[in-house]
Amino acid sequence: MKNIALFASGSGSNVENIIRYFKDDTNFNFPFIISNNRDAFVHERAKKLQVPSFFYKKERFENGEALAFLLENKIDFIVLAGFLLKVPDNILQSYPNKIINIHPALLPKFGGKGMYGSHVHEAVVANKETESGITIHYVNENYDEGQIIFQAKCEVLPTDTPEDVAAKVHELEYRYFPEIIKNVVM
Ligand code: GRF
């Protein structure tokens, strides 16, 4: 059985989708959710899902407290689902090729610092892209630059608003992210 920690900073709809997907799968255990945001809606979802969620502020990631907690709990793998803090070196070094992220665009386009959430979809529309999608990738020391594992595309129509693009991208995330986690972790 693999122990997977979920990291999230915002709404947590992917976290919820992942936990529901693996609910009856005894090979995968999601013992808790970690957030760097005390007020994130993911904590509400966690309560409903009856999964503990913890708030770790930035300093506690950087001083190794978060890592110690992961190691104490025998975490094998980390999944970032809308996690906005840069993963500190102490965690990266302890989990080489064992941290994956989902990015709501087709990297290497529309990635890097500041390219998250609605900023990504606004940039896609402003750039008159005809397609967008998701990228699931390993996490390294640079934002959105780790090795790409999987991408899926959706069409962007000239009439699409950033919200329309976000909805299409979320649909792809819900459809593919759990499946890819399963393949990568096993
Ligand atoms: C997703 O679009 C994900 O790709 C991005 O942040 C968003 C998180 O959404 N990294 P949610 O918190 O899972 O609802």
Architecture of domain 1-96: 3-Layer(aba) Sandwich (3.40)
Q: Judge if the beta carbon of residue 162 lies within 6 A of ligand 1.
A: no
pTM: 0.96
Domain ranges, ordered by start, for the chain: 1-96
Q: Nearest C-alpha to atom 3 of ligand 1 is from which residue?
A: 82
Catalytic annotation, residues: 103
Task: Tell me how far apart the alpha carbons of residues 184 and 128 are, in angstroms, rounded to a whole number.
Answer: 33
Q: Judge if the beta carbon of residue 34 lies within 6 A of ligand 1.
A: no
Q: Which residues contact 173 (CB under 8 A, 6 or more apart)?
A: 14, 17, 102, 104, 134
- Quick one: which atom of ligand 1 is closest to the CA of 41? 12
10-residue mean pLDDT profile of the chain (186 residues): values are 97 98 97 98 98 98 98 98 96 97 97 91 98 97 90 98 98 98 95
